[in-house]
Amino acid sequence: MVSSLAYSFFANNDICMVWSMLAELQTPPIVTTDLLYLRFIGDRSIQEKDFGRIQVDRVFEMQKLADNIKTVEDERIKSAIIAANNHYAGFGPGTANVFRNMLGLSDAKWQDRKESLEQEQQ
């Protein structure tokens, strides 16, 4: 009851419900605005020295969220922000691309984007 009141409050006040995927916690995939914000957050079991490649298989839980997005995408979602930190699976950009592929999107070219940003700053 309390949670449905909160979700209604969010929706009535145009507040985006953040979907978070953590080791011990998964927020319910409830859409409250036309923006979807999803965070893949790791438990810090992967040390920084080991970043740079996918080390933990998170495909099963990521696929569940991709399926949820596909279910609600026709409702009212106009845009989405999806973030993955390195602690989630070992390499945030790689995790983002795995998830993009699950949604039928092509890989983001991170090096191209970095070069583009560097040129803009000059």
Q: What whole-number distance in Å separates Cα of residue 39 and Cα of residue 21?
A: 6
**Distance, C-alpha 79 to centroid of its chain:** 12
Q: What is the pLDDT of residue 95?
A: 93
Domain boundaries, the chain: 2-121
Strand 35-40 relative to strand 18-21, pairing = parallel
Q: What is the pLDDT of residue 45?
A: 85
Q: What is the pLDDT of residue 113?
A: 59
| Tokens 């080390």, residue located | 55
Q: What is the pLDDT of residue 1?
A: 47
Q: What is the pLDDT of residue 68?
A: 86
CATH fold for the domain made of 2-121: TIM Barrel (3.20.20)
Q: What whole-number distance in Å separates Cα of residue 108 and Cα of residue 39?
A: 17
Strand order in the sheet with 35-40: 18-21, 35-40, 79-84
Q: What is the pLDDT of residue 116?
A: 64
Point out the residues of the chain with pLDDT beneath 50.
Answer: 1
